Chains A and B, each alone.
Chain A
Amino acid sequence: MKVESASNQRKISITGVKKAEAAKRGTAYFLRRDWQLYLLLMLPLSFVLAFKYAPMTGLVLAFKDYKIARGFWGSDWVGFEVFQEIFARHDFIRAVRNTLLLNGLDLVFSFTMPIVVALLLNEIKSVKFKRANQTLLYLPHFLSWIIIGAIAYQLLSLGNGAVNNLIEMMGGNRVPFLQKDAHWLVSYLAIGVWQSMGWGTIIYLASISSINPELYEAAIVDGAGRWRKVWNVTLPSIRVTIVTLLIMNLGKIMEGSFERVFALQNKATTEYTTTIPVLVYRWGIESGNFSSATALGLFQAVIGLVLVIMADRIAKRLGEDGLI
């Protein structure tokens, strides 16, 4: 113990000396010494400032009665009037509910499915077969939602969809996959899972591949079967990845993909299709009411931020590393 504390003290004194030196040498010394690093830092920093922070000045719109012709700064300040107005709008509550519902369900299904798929892919022994499967699973990720929407209606529509034709041929009844509210919700989730599960496996597979093989060998020696290995080795090893992605996904729970809803919606199943991004589009782009759309976007972002911070705190309390 004594030895340890002594060495600690020495460490402290060394850093103390370094600090003193640094203070003497000043900013210029470090700039000169590490100028390549600072130069390199400029690239991402300027990118973030130009494309992430500078546009935030546009958020003032949420507090103004914005008129295109008068510009950002020329428009009148109205305080929280815009917020009061949007909170009172007919569709607002429903949009918040739907956004939470769709994304909550997505979190349950679309978030967990890639983990399951990654675990399954990991069990495939034949490299060729695994590769082929991965490629096929990745493909939907590269399709635009507009295309997916069109294909979905070709396949699943009640009147003429190929799947329904098949069901009928085999003696079943036609199913309104996309044309009844509850059915729509299930189809929406299923299509989402199909589209994203392959792509989502990539990070998990990378994380799995970095697990020390000795752990598996040790588990085998201990007599573990496949299930045991997955449960006691693989999953705990990728837990950090899972938690990190979960926290990041929680931040998106107020967002949701506009394209996905837009491409899959129709006017007979509107119960779940009014979401916050849809309202932002309708108010901002369709009716040119940029103030309302900005206010709604800001509201959504603030809730998202709060959720991320909360999730991070909870994760830390549960003994995970957290994100921030």
Chain B
Amino acid sequence: MGKKRILSALTALFIVGGILSGCTSNNGNGNNEQSSAQPTSSGNSTGAESQKDGYPDYSGGFHENVTLEIPVYERAFEGWNVTDNFYTRWIQKEFGDKHNVTVKFVPITRSSEVTDFEQLLASGKAPDIIFHYDMPQALNYYGEDVMQELDWEEIANYAPTYWGKMGDTMKQYGTVDGKNTFFFAARPNADNYVSLIRKDWVEKVGMKMEDLTSLEKYNEMLAKWKEAGLGTAGSSLLKNNYNFNYAFREWPVDPKYRALYSDLGVADLTSADSERFLRNLNYQYNNGLIDKEFYLRDDDNKVKAEFVAGKTGTYGLYLTNNTDLFSATLKNNPEAEFAVMPIGAGVPEGNKPQGRAYWPFGFIMGINYESSDMERAAVWMYLEWMSQPENLFFLQNGVEGQNYTLDAEGIALKNPDFKGESVLAQNNNKDYWALVTEIAEYGDPALTLKANLRNWSPPGYEYLAEELVANYEKTAEFRTPDALFSIVLEKVNEYKADLNSLFQELYVKIVLAPEAEFDATYEAAKKTYLEAGYQEILDEKQAAIDAGQFR
């Protein structure tokens, strides 16, 4: 009996201990929550700093060391350590040490950023800034209560330059349910995404680039490619960014129709635009015009590999001057010539070359609910510091004489062969400076354009960047942004992941179906999709649209 009693006593002790330890860690969370709910308390209690407009003055640096955690995209660039490199050390020295701040970078995997943030948030280790490029997901974070309410005055106080530039955007787009929530990076009006096509293939089948005026003509050419045994068009699994059916939409766009269906996060499988898009894809697939295994190409490297190997003749990318695409492709196919895909090539006859316009901001950011007042102030000060032209320029271009030289106009000429200590990340360090702007800018727009062209042009391929810019201007009038809802769409959050997965399943099934079975497969898919939650999303959106809660 005695043994048993001891055992049970021990067990009870451990269970109680375990539960207690569980409680204390959770109580800890509760306390944090309280402190964040009362924004001014801890800031005032640190006391020693003199007050200015009601906000403590930290211009001389914080009295006690503050750890600032900044998220940064991890894009798996070879040989690049995102959290510890020349520039992170430079930031620590120039900003951190001068303000008594320890700047810590938290890597976020680019291709699974939401997953990473969710895990960090759940374990209480998320950085001070929570960011995302698209509003629906940003609203999702807001809906999870993981973002603090912001005080515009506070931002204006600690980051006057930044506020001067972005204040209006924040006032216009940064409030949700009447609460100030988001702050933004600037997005100058420019884009470097380009679809490329193998010009040598086009010419080999007796056509000219100018012949590709419509989708019909393009499909004709693809058929000739197939006949000549050259290859197919590149294609990949649609995921995450559902902006595939713009060329199949009617013009002009009805704002309410657009608000209901156009959504980067949830594909509008059931719209007539998507039907037309899928019908074409089904035709292309069944006639061997596109990569037969497109559904296996689920990340960019796999799509790129097909193009580089000379198996596919089209590929889309964000053009940068240090891309290895051209040299890699030429290694396998010395005769390869590259051209920008003509505007009309993906657009059915009679349609307009529509596209998705960016919102007038880059990163959408919020402050972690667990961040203290001092940490929040440090974020504003960090943005202010980065908004200073000389700091931004250094982050974007590196060390003069090493990474670049200045030409007569004051534009930085990059040295593409530079491999020294201060080498920039493959996308010119964008993941660090994207907190304040999407694209590097000079004071004068003409100069910016010139600089952009240089940043986007690999040596010898300047004509690609020029054509890309020309096309961008030509199609400007046909670009529309997605509607912005001013409320949280609960159903979108609830069903998004399920519908994403279901959409991929259904659309692949539709595309792989024999042409004769397209209609039946599509109808069945529509029904499944609506029943799986899309109908509820449409109903919720319709209610918001009827109430005028969108822009």
Contacts and interface: CB of A to CB of B under 8 A. Distances in A.
Interface string B502-532: 1011001100100000000000000010011
A231 interface: no
Interface stretch (B5-13, B183-191, B222-230): B5-13
Nearest to A288: B118
B119 interface: yes
Nearest to B507: A267
A45 B504 contact: no
B107 interface: no
A80 interface: no
Contact of B145 (A68, A73, A282): A68
Contact of A45 (B10, B502, B512): B10
A71 B26 contact: yes
B327 interface: no
B18 interface: yes
Given A23-B1, A49-B15, A268-B508, A38 B501 contact: no
Nearest to B118: A288
A72 interface: yes
A31 B6 contact: yes
B158 interface: no
Interface stretch (B173-181, B290-298, B416-424, B426-434): B290-298
Given A267-B504, A267-B505, A68 B146 contact: yes
B493 interface: yes
Interface string A25-37: 1110111000000
Interface residues of A, number: 49
Given A268-B508, A285-B115, A153 B296 contact: yes
Interface in A42-93: 42, 45-46, 49-50, 53-54, 57, 67-74, 89-91
B144 A285 contact: no
Contacts of A158: 292-293
A195 interface: no
B26 A73 contact: yes
A91 B1 contact: no
Contacts of A41: 10
Interface in A265-292: 266-268, 270, 274, 282-283, 285-290
A268 B292 contact: no
Interface of B is mostly: helix
Interface in B247-299: 292-293, 295-296, 298
Nearest to A71: B29
A84 B512 CA distance: 35
Contacts of B493: 287
A90 B296 contact: no
Contacts of B121: 68, 288
A90 B533 contact: yes
B293 A159 contact: yes
Given A71-B29, A71-B30, A90 B505 contact: no
A166 interface: no
Contact of B498 (A26, A27, A42, A282): A282
A69 B6 contact: no
A48 to B, nearest CB: 9
A90 B11 contact: no
B293 A157 contact: yes
Contacts of A50: 18
A22 interface: yes
A71 B33 contact: yes
B3 A30 contact: yes
Given A30-B6, A73-B26, A159-B292, A68 B122 contact: yes
Interface residues of B, number: 52
B6 A157 contact: no
A267 B29 CA distance: 40
Contacts of A90: 498, 502, 528, 531-533
Contacts of A89: 498
Contacts of A45: 10-11, 14
B498 A70 contact: no
A59 to B, nearest CB: 12
B496 interface: yes
A270 B504 CA distance: 9
B388 interface: no
B206 interface: no
A307 B254 CA distance: 56
A286 B1 CA distance: 51
A68 B368 CA distance: 11
Given A46-B14, A268-B512, A285 B119 contact: yes
A69 B496 contact: no
A160 B292 CA distance: 11
Contacts of B5: 27
A286 B502 contact: no
A157 B297 CA distance: 12
Nearest to B499: A90
A267 B30 contact: no
A236 to B, nearest CB: 37
A245 B14 CA distance: 30
23 contacts: A23-B1, A26-B2, A27-B5, A27-B6, A29-B2, A38-B6, A46-B14, A53-B15, A54-B19, A54-B21, A54-B22, A68-B145, A69-B145, A70-B33, A71-B26, A72-B29, A90-B533, A159-B292, A159-B293, A266-B295, A267-B295, A268-B509, A289-B494
Given A30-B6, A45-B14, A90-B502, 16 more contacts: A19-B1, A25-B2, A38-B6, A54-B18, A54-B21, A57-B19, A69-B33, A90-B528, A91-B502, A91-B532, A266-B298, A267-B505, A282-B497, A282-B498, A287-B493, A287-B496
Across chains A and B, which 4 residue pairs bring their CB atoms closest together, nearest first?
A287-B497, A90-B532, A69-B145, A54-B18
Interface of A: 19, 22-23, 25-27, 29-31, 38, 41-42, 45-46, 49-50, 53-54, 57, 67-74, 89-91, 153, 157-160, 179, 266-268, 270, 274, 282-283, 285-290
